[in-house]
Structures are given as C-alpha cells and as structure tokens.
Amino acid sequence: MINIALCGGYGKMGRTIAELCTVGSNFNISYIIETNDKCLLSNIGIGIKLEDIIDHDDVDVVVDFTSKESCLERMKISIDNGKPFVTGTTGFSDEDMAKIKIMAEKGKVFYSPNFSPGIYILGKALQQISELAKDDYDIEMLEMHHNQKTDAPSGTALKLRDILVQNYPDHNVIYGRKGDYQPRSRKEIAIHTLRGGDVVGDHKVIFAGNGERLELTHRAISRKTFASGVLKAVEYIVKQNEDRLYGMDDLF
C-alpha cells in the first residue's frame, strides 16, 4: 500500500483523489493538509502541517493540488525530506517552472498540468498535425473551465500552446481579442478563455483553412479521469530512483 499525504484534500481534485483511494487497497490517504477555513468543514486535517508529518513512516509520497505558492513551498519540504512529490497545480510562470526544474535536481518530482490520457494523446496528435498543416491554416484555441478556476489560460492550454510553438517558432501568441485589428496573420496562434458553471475542462484546437476546418476537441466529463492519472503517477514515481522532473511522457 502507498501512503499519501494529500495537500488540498478538500478541493475539487483532492476530494476526487481521496474518493478513488477508498475504492481499492493500493492507496491510503494518511494525512490531509488543508487551509484552516476548509478544515472547519471536517475534523480531518485540522492543525496538520506538512513539515510536521513529512518524516513519518506513513508518508510515502506527497500529492499536491493547491495554489502555486503553497505548491512550491511543499515541494521544497518534500524534496528536503527525500519524499517523492506529485502535483497538477497550475498557474506557474516560466520563472516558477525554472525553479521547479532546479528543485527537481535534488528530488523526485512528477508534474503535469493535466493527468488525462486523452489530453496526452491530443498533444501527440497535435504534434503531427501541426507539422503537416505548416502555414496553410489559421490556428485558434478555445478552453473552458468551471467558474472557480483562478488561472487563465489553463495549464493544459499552455501545454498545447508550447507544442504548437515548437513547430511554429516564428508565430506570435495572443490571448483573446478586443478592439480594432488588422486582417489576421497566418503567423498567429490565438488562445481564448471561457469560465462558467461546473465545466470540468474543455479544450479545442482549430485549424481553419480556405474551404475547410479541422478541429481537435477534448472534453473531460469527470475529474475521476484526472484522479486516476494522478494515482498512476504516484505508483510510477515511488518506484523511481533518479532525482529529476518527471511527466506524462515518462508515464506513457
């Protein structure tokens, strides 16, 4: 059995991960680390700080779905104590990601903005399609999430953006449009963000050509898809020996 210290256990993803852990016998949530206001909803986790329990025998790995500030702090605590760290927290800047890569040189860190197998497959398909499409299509991206999500565009959209930029290094990336514009340039990738309701996560990449349009769409129906991927990452990283930053490419 793998014992997990779950940071953000009362959030949307945290609750889903905890629920999946009760189904089988492979995982155990040994500790829930949460903010004080969320701890008022339950007796579990009140007063627990990661630094107080990180060296306990019933902590094999730390899983974090919180804010980027808290995530970076807890990542350092985990690495300093030799515990693997898995996170899907989003909103990191390029500077934050540079810090994560440096920290991961001293510990095992698994990071992905999206743990869905479907998104991973979409990314691989996008690599091939964007190479074939060359400069014959206008590229637009649309992402939508629930109304409580605080970062925009989503981490997944930014990951898909990075895949596109690899094949189109001379393209400019813009985020939404407002006001007067010149006719659209082919050397442009536009990302649009929608927030509303309880949408789990929709992502669409559009290649618009003359007389035709190719659309790649992924819709997440349940967070259990992501939580299942997180637990696969947990199983994977506890078996690894090399200190470095791991991701979905390693898992697949």
pLDDT interval class at 38 (50, 70, 90): low
Residue of 12, 38, 76, 149 marked catalytic: 149
101, amino acid identity: K
User: 137 pLDDT exceeds 80?
Assistant: yes
Residue 235: other Cβ atoms inside 10 A: 14
The torsion angles phi and psi of 63, rounded to 5 degrees, stand at: -115, 130
pLDDT interval class at 175 (50, 70, 90): very high
Q: Which domains does the chain have, with CATH numbers?
A: 2-111+223-251 (3.40.50.720), 117-220 (3.30.360.10)
216: Cβ contacts below 8 Å, ≥ 6 apart? 122, 125, 126, 129, 204, 205, 206
Rounded CA-CA distance 189/54 in Å is 43
pTM over 0.85: no
Residue 26: other Cβ atoms inside 10 A: 12
Over residues 189-193, mean pLDDT? 96
Residue of 68, 83, 145, 218 marked catalytic: 145
User: 232 pLDDT exceeds 80?
Assistant: yes
User: 186 pLDDT exceeds 60?
Assistant: yes
Report residue 38 as tokens: 């969320």
Q: What is the mean pLDDT of the chain?
A: 91
User: 40 pLDDT exceeds 50?
Assistant: no
Whether 145 is a known active-site residue: answer yes
Whether 171 is a known active-site residue: answer no
Residue 58: predicted pLDDT: 93
Report residue 123 as tokens: 């990314």
Q: Tens digit of pLDDT for each residue in 84-104?
A: 999 999 888 889 999 999 999
| Distance between start and end Cα atoms, the chain | 22
pLDDT interval class at 47 (50, 70, 90): low
Over residues 39-57, mean pLDDT? 71
User: 24 pLDDT exceeds 80?
Assistant: no
User: 56 pLDDT exceeds 90?
Assistant: yes
